[in-house]
Every structure is written in structure tokens, then in C-alpha cells.
Structure 1
Amino acid sequence: MTVRWEAFLDHVKERGAYDTVQEAERAARVVLALLGAHLVGEVRARVAARLPEEFALILLNPLQSAEPLSAERFVRATAAWIEGATERTAAWDVSAVLSTVADTVGEDLLTEVLLQLPAGYDLLFGRPQPT
């Protein structure tokens, strides 16, 4: 089931403690564009199917990534794409967006997503995995 645009952004706005929906939207666009570069095939399509259409299109037409970024470098890349961001604020942005994605896609699909990503992303999604 697809979540509505407003509901998705409301969750991101609340989790990120943003002042405006526009700030939440900017974070969501950047994080989802970077995430899309790291997911492939059916998993990416299934995640997109559960997102609001505009965000699904961003996930399916990602920024190109030459190699999978570690969780730390993913946060740094997010900071580079958001004007005025620091690594600390970018970590906040990533967490607000990816924890909302985790809630949206559900545990089973999230497990498949995490299998496609380098170690450490479980923390970005707010779902620490036992080691």
C-alpha cells in the first residue's frame, strides 16, 4: 500500500524536527535520490511502489553512484547535496527520511533493502541489527 505524500512528509518533518514541510521535502528528495543509487532490481521497484509517486520517481531515477557508499560516506554525500548542511545535520536528515522509509516499507522488505547495502545502514534506518 502506498503512503500519501502529505503523510510521508509529515512523518519526516516530525522526526527531523523541521520548521517547514519544504525542509522535510528537500531532505527526502536528496536522501531518496542517493538511496536509489544503492538499490537495484525488484527491491528498488518494491520500495518505490510503497512511496508517494513523486518520491518513487526520485528513487527510480537516482543520482549515479560509482560505488556503494558506506553509511558514513552516504551521510557525507547527503551533506554535500543539501545547501548549508554539516555532517551532523545530514545525519539527522538521513535518519528522519530513512526511518520513515523503514516504517513505510515494513520489516520484511527492509530486511531485503539492508541486504543490498553496506554494513551500518541499519542504524541509518533506525533499525539496529544484532551483530
Structure 2
Amino acid sequence: MTTLTPDRPAVTGPDATLPAPRPVTRPRDRGRDDGWRELVDAVRESGQYPTRAEAESVTRVVLSALGGHVVGDERVDLARALPEEAARVVASQVPATRVLTAAEFVDSVARRVEGATPATARWDVSSVLSVLPALVGDELVTRVLTHLPPGYALLFGRAELTPAG
């Protein structure tokens, strides 16, 4: 099934091409506010959003949803690695009482974004999460993924490998 929206490219089935991650650079001499701007700009480019405001809104919704599912040292380290505004969004969330599957996570984002469908919400989630490895580092993303159910790696733009059995 193909879903077209005027603001987003077509997303087709579970094998749809996800946005390619865009490296986010945060030079040491820049402030953390510049880091937020760069994060939103990376999400805008990754998700091909027509406006910065739309990319910022999607970034806030997805990071907010993620913040409820990342706990412990990984949550602290993620907040430290993110720009100040993004760190606040993640850290301000109450931990979820139940960890959602990747599909449920996407559905929860769809409920928070006006007019979203499961397909556009998956696009939104991947547009945000796929830029995080370049910002916070692959090692931290790997640690976060070890505490989340299978399926989240794909949302971060990674292959999900399963052991042969």
C-alpha cells in the first residue's frame, strides 16, 4: 500500500526506503542551542520536511516519545550527548510503565502528530532517530538499542540482525 501526502514522499510497505541519515556536526566552539538548530536542520533534510517548524515539531514529538522508553544510564548519557533543548525534551518524560514494541512506538507517535498515519509516523520517527547516531555516537545508540525490543534498530536506520538458530 502506498500513502502519499503533500508534505512527505511516498512510503510503501514495510520495505520502504527510509530517510538516509545526515551527519550532524557540532563544533566544540558552538553553543548547545546551535546544536538544537543543527539537529532540527538534519531532521528537516532527512525527512524532506517543507518547513523548519514542521521538522522541529516532529523532532520534539519523537524525542518525547523516545524519552519515556530510554531509562537508566542510557537515558542520562543520551541527555548529556544531545543539544540542551533536545536533552530537556528527553529527560522531562516520565518513564513508560511498559516498553512498547517498535510498531506500538510508531503508533504512539502517530497519535501525537495531527493527521499522521502509521506510514507517515514511521517516516517521522525514522527521520529523527536516523540522525541521532551521527550526533550522539554509534556506541550510545547501540547501548540504547540493547534495552529496547527488536525492531527499533530499523527506526534508527540500522539493519536488525538476528542470530542464526
- Bin for the TM-score computed over the shorter chain: over 0.9
Structure with larger Rg: 2
Deviations 1:23-65 (A, max 9, x none): 1111111111111111111111111112111110110011553
- 2:124 is the counterpart of 1:93: yes
Equivalent AA in structure 2 for residue 58 of structure 1: V
Instruction: Name the structure where helix makes up a greater proportion of residues.
Output: 1
Contact 1:34 1:63 in 2 (8 A): no
Where structure 1 has 5 or more consecutive residues not aligned to the other structure, the ranges are: none
**Displacement after TM superposition at 1:99 (Å):** 0.6
Instruction: Name the structure where strand makes up a greater proportion of residues.
Output: 2
Corresponding residue pairs, total: 131
The alignment-based identity, stated in percent, is 46
The correspondence of residues 29-108 of structure 1 with structure 2, limited to 5 A, is 29-62=60-93, 65-108=96-139
Task: Say which is worse superposed, 47-56 or 90-99, in terms of deviation.
Answer: 47-56
Partner Cα separation in structure 1 for residue 139 and residue 151 of structure 2: 18
Q: TM-score, normalised by structure 1?
A: 0.94
RMSD: 1.5
Contact 2:70 2:95 in 1 (8 A): no
Where structure 2 has 5 or more consecutive residues not aligned to the other structure, the ranges are: 1-27
- 2:160 is the counterpart of 1:129: yes
- 2:66 is the counterpart of 1:15: no
Partner Cα separation in structure 2 for residue 83 and residue 64 of structure 1: 24
Contact 2:71 2:95 in 1 (8 A): no
Out of 111, 116, 120, which is 2:147 matched to? Answer: 116
Runs of 4+ in 1 over 6 A off after TM superposition: none
